[in-house]
């Protein structure tokens, strides 16, 4: 008569196994070699070579910000070419997806005349498959001749496309207090 016996082997430590079955427990040690370490490989993203080839991110961001606020202050409809159908604007916690929705929101803002003053601009390359830049702007905006300017913060994620950049993400907030 044959009796089927089931055992389970569980690794407890790197070189120590605990084997359990109907008769009891058996502890075994074994010689174990770690596999050789894998060489470090750069992830398929923005390589250092491509990063060095990219122009100065701060210079690109500065040119972009100057262009963006000049168009925003004079004719917001001219901002449409900066966005794509998969771009997203979050304006005061409200999301808008796609060029048409973004430009519609910007054109429907309840003021005709606005002037932006940039106080700070920070930029850094983003580690993504396509060269891109994260831009953070703080400043003040003067609306329709109001005496007190409003402080704001705006972040952009600029992505390279055919030798230029478009806005993938845009987050705008007024800063109170």
pLDDT, one tens digit per residue, over 122-133 is 999 997 788 999
- The fraction of the chain above a pLDDT of 90, given in percent, is 61
- Is the model more confident about 124 or about 2? 124
- Is the model more confident about 51 or about 107? 107
Q: For all residues of the chain together, what is the average pLDDT? A: 81
Q: Which two tokens stand for residue 35?
A: 């596999």
Q: Mean pLDDT throughout 46-63?
A: 68
**Could you tell me if residue 170 is inside a domain?**
yes
- Segment among 25-29, 85-89, 170-174 with least mean pLDDT: 25-29
Q: Mean pLDDT throughout 156-163?
A: 94
Q: Is pTM, for the whole model, over 0.85?
A: no
Is the pLDDT score of 38 beyond 70? no
**Could you tell me if residue 71 is inside a domain?**
yes
pLDDT for residue 157: 98
**Could you tell me if residue 151 is inside a domain?**
yes
**Could you tell me if residue 39 is inside a domain?**
no
pLDDT for residue 130: 87
**Could you tell me if residue 19 is inside a domain?**
no
**Could you tell me if residue 28 is inside a domain?**
no
Is the pLDDT score of 18 beyond 60? no
Residue 75 φ/ψ, nearest 5 degrees: -155, 95
pLDDT for residue 5: 46
- Provide the 3-class DSSP secondary structure of residue 128: coil
- Is the model more confident about 26 or about 170? 170
**Could you tell me if residue 56 is inside a domain?**
yes
**CATH code of the domain containing 155:** 3.10.450.50
**Which residue range(s) make up the domain with 129?**
48-175
CA dist 142 and 147 (Å) reads 8
pLDDT for residue 54: 55
**Could you tell me if residue 26 is inside a domain?**
no
* The total number of structural domains that make up the chain: 1
CA dist 93 and 43 (Å) reads 33
Is the pLDDT score of 28 beyond 70? no
What distance, in Å, lies between the first and last C-alpha atoms of the chain?
86
pLDDT for residue 129: 82
């Amino acid at each position: 008569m044959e009796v089927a016996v089931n055992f389970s082997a569980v690794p407890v430590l790197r070189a120590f196994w605990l084997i359990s079955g109907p008769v009891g427990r058996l502890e075994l040690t074994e010689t174990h070699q770690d596999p050789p370490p894998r060489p470090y490989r750069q992830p398929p993203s923005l390589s250092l070579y491509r990063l060095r080839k990219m122009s100065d991110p701060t210079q690109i961001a500065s040119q972009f910000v100057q262009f963006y606020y000049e168009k925003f202050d004079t004719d917001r409809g001219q901002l449409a070419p900066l966005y794509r159908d998969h771009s997203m604007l979050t304006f005061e916690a409200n999301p808008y997806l796609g060029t048409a929705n973004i430009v519609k929101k910007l054109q429907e803002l309840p003021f005709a005349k606005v002037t932006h003053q940039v106080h700070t601009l920070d930029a850094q390359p983003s580690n993504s498959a396509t060269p891109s830049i994260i831009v953070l702007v703080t400043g003040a905006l003067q609306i329709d001749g109001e005496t007190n300017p409003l402080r704001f913060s705006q972040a952009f994620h600029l992505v390279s496309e055919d030798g230029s950049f478009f806005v993938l993400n845009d987050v705008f907030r007024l800063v109170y207090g």
